[in-house]
Amino acid sequence: MNTSKDPLHGKTLEYILIVLVDDMGWEQLGQNIRINCFVSSPSIKSSLTFLRKTPWARKKVEELYIRRYSS
């Protein structure tokens, strides 16, 4: 069986963001990662647009996901 050790393997940025928002809510997410798109009129669509253009922000979101959901 070919299983990846990468905790993000097979997970899209959209999936990761939806899981975080469903679990934490926008307010808590914005407190954990100080990004304006999480604090000011947040939406999945606008956040994905920003995260796809901003590698450091995407990395922070992925790291938060790994910390919360990897065993």
First to last CA, the chain: 20
Q: Please report the pLDDT score of residue 61 as a whole number.
A: 97
CATH code of the domain covering residue 27: 1.10.720.30
Q: Please report the pLDDT score of residue 53 as a whole number.
A: 97
Q: Please report the pLDDT score of residue 71 as a whole number.
A: 65
Nearest to 14 by CA among 49, 41, 57, 66: 49
Q: Which amino acid is at 67?
A: R
Cα 64 from chain centroid?
7
- pTM value is 0.89
Instruction: Classify residue 7: in a domain, yes or no.
Output: no
Instruction: Classify residue 36: in a domain, yes or no.
Output: yes
Q: Please report the pLDDT score of residue 3 as a whole number.
A: 65
How many domains does the chain fold into?
1
Counts for the chain of helices (H) and strands (E), in that order: 4, 0
For the chain (length 71 residues), average pLDDT per consecutive 10?
77 97 96 94 96 97 94 65
Range of the domain at 46: 13-69
Q: Please report the pLDDT score of residue 6 as a whole number.
A: 86
